[in-house]
Amino acid sequence: MRENPLVLHVLGARPNFVKAAPVVRALEGLGVRQGIIHTGQHYDALMSDVFFADLGLPEPLANLGVGSGTHARQTAALLVGLEEVVVQHSPDLVVVYGDVNSTLAAILVCAKLGVPTAHVEAGLRSFDRTMPEEVNRIVTDSLADLLFATSPDALSYLAAEGVDPRKVHLVGNSMIDSLFAALPQLDPAPVVERLGLPERYAVGTLHRPANVDTPEAARELVSAVLEVTELIPVVVPIHPRGRTRLAEAGLVNGERLRIVDPLGYVDFLSLVRGAALVVTDSGGVQEETTVLGVPCLTVRPNTERPITVSHGTNRLVTPAMLAAAASKMLADGAAIPAEELPALWDGKAGVRIARVIAAWLRGDSLAPAAFNRVQS
């Protein structure tokens, strides 16, 4: 390892920024030289730039601006762009986050170039390979040199896939670090007033391919959401992905349904914090509602974050089940309070990750998964 090693973070979509910010801050505190590569997978200001500002991330060394497209076209553009950047900067370690196409492309490029990699949020599994993210997760974990797991179940999944346990470290959830850091700023009132919402409302986030990529699925989902609006007004900050399809299926502004553009990190979580209910098909939102104590209904047949279900804050539902489940959750009230969070959701995951990376860069020998739990 050279005297002043360089760590690059590859970020492509909003969840990546949230997971990376605590790691970047902690590595900065340890004096590690680093830089961010923004692939531009989320490419407009509402989907990326505002997150850099909200999370205090430094300006990226490069922005590839790949934009949207089919999985093949987007991944191909990412492979070409990332190869050029990695060759140019010659990093000692590349850190990837989550399960988006930028994650997959970076891990493949580095594997071909012989550049070591680390995966933050390793070991999550939905066991549904029709999800593009599941394929990305499996490939990434099979190639990464350091794997940072959020929960004990991830350790068992990685072991079952034959991942060397010496590569794996149980560190907690860096997305929760960002949420804890933002808590003092999360005031629902200004956002509610700006959007013209009533005091009691629900939030929806809907973009999964299985829910929006066919007219039939989109109509079924929209019909279910409209049933929920009969119980409570719903605001949907709508992802560019599937926007047209959902609008064609009837997800349009109405008396009890408010469609808005994507929100920044602080604004969105402020909105969620004040909600009586969240309806989502996102992964990270399931975790954020767990911390905020907001009941969550996930419109999916499975989740790679089962800890949110076993913890009692989240429930998986089909579109047909949604209205009845929403009625029950609204009647039951708040979810489990934040002080009863899952193990290692303590705001220190970024510090644990940074310690392991710094030790690895020094060439220190590392104990497997239990090390970071003990040292926390």
Is residue 147 located within the same domain as residue 223? no
User: Do the domain assignments include residue 191?
Assistant: yes
DSSP H helical segments within the chain, as ranges? 14-29, 50-55, 71-89, 101-113, 132-143, 152-160, 174-182, 188-195, 209-212, 215-229, 243-248, 265-273, 284-292, 306-310, 319-332, 349-362, 370-375
Residue 169 falls in the annotated catalytic set: no
pTM exceeds 0.85 for this model: yes
What domain range includes position 46? 6-173+344-375
pLDDT digits (tens, 9 = 90+) for 258-287: 999 989 999 999 999 999 999 999 999 999
Is residue 300 located within the same domain as residue 314? yes
Split into its structural domains, the chain has a count of: 2
* Three-state DSSP class for residue 213: coil
Is residue 204 located within the same domain as residue 312? yes
CATH number, domain containing residue 194? 3.40.50.2000
User: Do the domain assignments include residue 179?
Assistant: no
User: Do the domain assignments include residue 178?
Assistant: no
Is residue 125 located within the same domain as residue 205? no
Nearest Cα to Cα of residue 109 among 94, 99, 120: 94
pLDDT digits (tens, 9 = 90+) for 114-148: 999 999 999 999 999 999 999 999 999 999 999 99
Do 235 and 197 form a contact (C-beta atoms < 8 A)?
Answer: yes
Residues of the chain with pLDDT under 70: 1, 41-48, 240-241, 334-339, 367-376
166: which residues sit within 8 A by CB, 6+ positions away? 366, 368
Structure tokens at 95: 């850190």
Nearest Cα to Cα of residue 196 among 280, 112, 271, 141: 271
Q: Of these residues, 9, 89, 119, 207, which one is catalytic?
A: 207
User: Do the domain assignments include residue 335?
Assistant: yes
